[in-house]
Amino acid sequence: MLALLPGLLVKLATRGARRLGLMPQSTYVHEIMQALKRGDLDEAVSVYRLCVSRRQASNITEVARELIEQFVDIRVDKLQSRIDEIENILRARKSLHARLRRWWARVLGLFGRKPLPEARCESELRAELAEHKAMIEGLLDIKTHLRSIG
C-alpha cells in the first residue's frame, strides 16, 4: 500500500495542477484539440478558459482559440444554411398556388379527410427555425466570450 503512495501523490499533484491551470499550456491545447475532434465544443471552451485563467495566452493557445472560433463559424454556417432552407420553404407556402392547395385540402377536410399535415409541418418548421436562431445566438456569444477572455 505504501508503495503506491508516491504514484498517488504525483497523480493528485498533476490533477490539482491541471485544475488550477498550472500545467503547461500545450497540455491544455492538446485537450482542446481532442475535444474539437470529438465535436465537444463545451469541453473545448471550458479547457480554454482553464488554460488562460492564470496566464496570458501563448501563441499556440491563440491558435487553439482561432481553431475553436473556426469550429463555431462552421456550425453557424451550417445552421444558417438550414435557416435559409426553412425560410425558402415557408416563403413558398405563401404563394397563391400553395394557398389554393391548402384551401382545397381544408374543404376536403370538411368531408372527413385527415387534418392538414402541411399545417402541422409548418409549425414544426417554425419551431426548428426559432431553435436554430437561438443556437446561432448562443454560438456567437461563445465566440465573443472567447475573445474577451483571450
Partner 1 sequence: MKKRVTKTAVAGGVGFLGGLLLEQGLESLTGLDFVDGVFAVGGSVLAAMHVNRDLVEVASENIKAMFGKDPLEITEDDWKQYKAKYPKSAVYLEKALGV
Residue 67's closest CA among 48, 83, 53? 48
Q: Does 19 bind partner 1 (CB under 8 A)?
A: no
Residue 90 beta carbon to partner 1: minimum distance, rounded to whole angstroms? 27
Taking CB under 8 A as the criterion, the residue among 20, 29, 89, 129 binding partner 1 is 29
Asked if residue 95 binds partner 1 (CB under 8 A), the reply is no
Helical segments of 1-150, H only? 5-19, 25-38, 41-51, 59-93, 96-110, 117-149
User: CB-wise, 31 or 136, nearer to partner 1?
Assistant: 31
Residue 83 in grid coordinates: 435557416
Q: Which one of 64, 136, 139, 146 is in contact with partner 1 (CB under 8 A)? A: 64
Task: Tell the smallest beta-carbon distance from residue 27 to partner 1 (Å).
Answer: 5
Q: How many angstroms separate the most distant Cα atoms in the chain?
A: 84
C-beta neighbour count of 28 within 10 angstroms: 22
145 binds partner 1 (CB under 8 A): no
Calculate ∠ Cα 93-139-49, nearest 5°. Answer: 170
Phi-psi region of 20 (alpha: psi -120 to 50; beta: other; left: phi over 0): alpha
Record the cell numbers describing residue 2, joined without a space: 505504501
Q: Interface with partner 1 by CB under 8 A: which range of 19-27, 105-113, 128-136, 141-149?
A: 19-27
Contacts to partner 1 by CB under 8 A: 3-4, 6-11, 14-15, 23-24, 26-27, 29-31, 33-34, 36-37, 59-60, 62-64, 66-67, 69-71, 73-74, 77
